[in-house]
Amino acid sequence: MNVANLQLEGLMMAVASINNLLVHKGLLSVDDIDIALRKSEANFTGDERTYEDVPLANRDAICFPIRLLRIANNSQGESDILPFSELAKMVGQTKEPYNDQR
Host domain of residue 40 = 3-95
pLDDT of residue 78: 63
pLDDT at position 98: 58
Alpha-helical (H) ranges within the chain are 3-24, 30-45, 48-53, 56-74, 84-94
- Res 65: pLDDT: 96
How confident is the chain (102 residues) per 10-residue block, as mean pLDDT? 85 96 96 96 80 80 94 84 93 74 52
Q: For residue 102, is it within any domain?
A: no
pLDDT number for residue 28: 97
Has residue 17 been placed in a domain?
yes
Does any domain span residue 69? yes
Per-residue CA distances from 49 to 20, 46, 53, 54, 61 (Å): 34, 9, 7, 9, 18
Residue 19 within a domain? yes
What is the structure's pLDDT at 61?
87
Number of domains in the chain: 1
HSE value, Cβ hemisphere, 13 Å, CA-based, for 23: 22
The pLDDT of residue 101: 55
Please give the pLDDT value at position 59.
Answer: 82
